[in-house]
Every structure is written in structure tokens, then in C-alpha cells.
Amino acid sequence: MRPSKRKPDELRRVSFERAVSMYAEGSCLIKFGHTHVLCTASVEDRVPPWLKNQGRGWVTAEYGMLPRATSERTRRESTAGQQSGRTQEIQRLIGRALRSVVDLQKLGERQITIDCDVLQADGGTRTAAITGAWVALHDCIQWMRARDMIGDGVLKDQVAAVSAGIYAGVPVLDLDYAEDSEAEADANFVMTGSGGIVEVQATAEKEPFSQERFDELMQLARKGIKELIALQQLTVA
């Protein structure tokens, strides 16, 4: 039995709230159970120096956790003077996930930055961030289209992410912290609306796991992402 009493293939309750920031060109507050992430999208009429005069844009991301997003207060990384390796890894993952569904040529020489701030963490913050960031990105691109800054076709597809792992010997979908901290294996899956795989991160925490077990996790992830893609569509409809 899962601590949350969910079925092995059941997501936590997921909700999206759009336009939660009065200043950002696109924003979304996503909730995966008790994990809450605020995603904001900001557009700038410039690109990184290494991309100048190439006729294409860029999509990047930043990720952070509020000091009291967890059960005990954690020090702000800005106070420490540097980002942790975990933070850098996650924000690069979010950026890669979003760029996989954007036509950078059609974006033009502009940069969209997605800020993902974890308000409350109960496992799966990176997967929630990616899934909510797509909604913020969608709304940012719609904002740009409404002002004739870009044409059609900039956003090529949807993208969402979910975790899956082996808990108490059973493959389960969308791990919360209680499961993640005790999992025998855990994985994060990033996929597009059309079913393409963007990235898979999988780790055996105790004993190595078999290909058959991995295939079960992949099946769970595909089911979960299909549901998340449908929720995104309902949100932006």
C-alpha cells in the first residue's frame, strides 16, 4: 500500500492556475499534490551573446526553492553565493525540455526565460516544474502572437514530465517524498504530447533493476504523461 493510498498507476491530484502573475508574459501555478511550483515566463528582445546574429531565439530556465518549501528551513542559495549542482542540473533539464517543443528560428532573436520557484516540496519538483512551465511558455507565446511579435508555429508540441519508481517492490507512478525517500529505484521521464522521449533519468537506489522493471516504469510514465498532456490542453483551451 502506498503511503498516499493511491493505486500504483495513479497520479497525485494535479491542478493548473494560469495568469497568477500580473507582470509576467505567461505564468502558471502548478500543484502535484502537496508539491507547488510557480512558473513565470519572461520575454526579452535579445539573445545570449553566443547566439547573436544567427536569426534564432533561445528558451532557458531558472529553478529555485523557497527557504521553507521543505520541512526545515534551507538557506537561500543567493546567500550562499552559488547554486548547488542539483539546482543547475534541474534548470538545465527544464530548459532542454522546453526547447524540444519550440521552433527557435520562428521565435526570432528573442529569449524566453522560465523561472520555476518551488513554494512547497513533496517530491517531484522538477517534473512539476516542467509540466507547469509549458503552460507558462504557451501563454507567453500567445501574448507575443497577440502583439504581432511572432507568427504561427513557434510552439510545436506539448511537453510534460512525471516520475515513476519501485516502492516496496511495486512499480508506482508519480512518487511523493515519502515514497521517493524509500524507493528502490526512481526515474524521471520527459515526453512530448506526440509521445516523443525528450529525456529519461533513472537510478537504482539499492539493487540494480531489470529491463523488464524499467519497461514497467516506462509504461506507467506514458500513462501519466498522457493524462498530464490532456490536463494541459484543458487548461489552455
Cα(199)–Cα(163) distance, rounded to whole angstroms? 12
Give the mean pLDDT of 139-166.
97
**Contact of 123 with 177, CB cutoff 8 Å:** yes
pLDDT at 79 over 90: no
Please give the model's pTM, rounded to 2 decimal places: 0.96
CB half-sphere exposure, 170, CA atoms < 13 A: 13
pLDDT at 76 over 90: no
The band of 81, judged by pLDDT with boundaries at 50, 70 and 90, is: confident
Q: Report phi then psi at 61, rounded to 5.
A: -145, 150
Give the mean pLDDT of 158-177.
97
Give the mean pLDDT of 176-198.
97
The band of 1, judged by pLDDT with boundaries at 50, 70 and 90, is: confident
Q: What is the pLDDT of residue 192?
A: 98
**Contact of 234 with 186, CB cutoff 8 Å:** no
DSSP labels, the chain? --TT---TTPPPPEEEEE---SSSSEEEEEEETTEEEEEEEEEES---GGGTTSS--EEEEEEEE-TTSSSS----HHHHTS--HHHHHHHHHHHHHHHTTB-HHHH-S-EEEEEEEEEE-SS-HHHHHHHHHHHHHHHHHHHHHHTTSS-S-SB---EEEEEEEEETTEEEES--HHHHTT-SEEEEEEEETTS-EEEEEEEESSS---HHHHHHHHHHHHHHHHHHHHHHHHHH-
Give the mean pLDDT of 138-154.
97
The band of 180, judged by pLDDT with boundaries at 50, 70 and 90, is: very high
pLDDT at 78 over 80: no
Proportion of the chain above pLDDT 70, given as a percent: 100
Q: What is the pLDDT of residue 177?
A: 97
Q: What is the pLDDT of residue 136?
A: 98
Query: 89-126, pLDDT tens digit by residue?
Result: 999 999 999 999 999 999 999 999 999 999 999 999 99
Domain 14-73+82-236, CATH class in plain words: alpha beta
Cα(161)–Cα(27) distance, rounded to whole angstroms? 18
> What's the mean per-residue pLDDT of the chain?
96
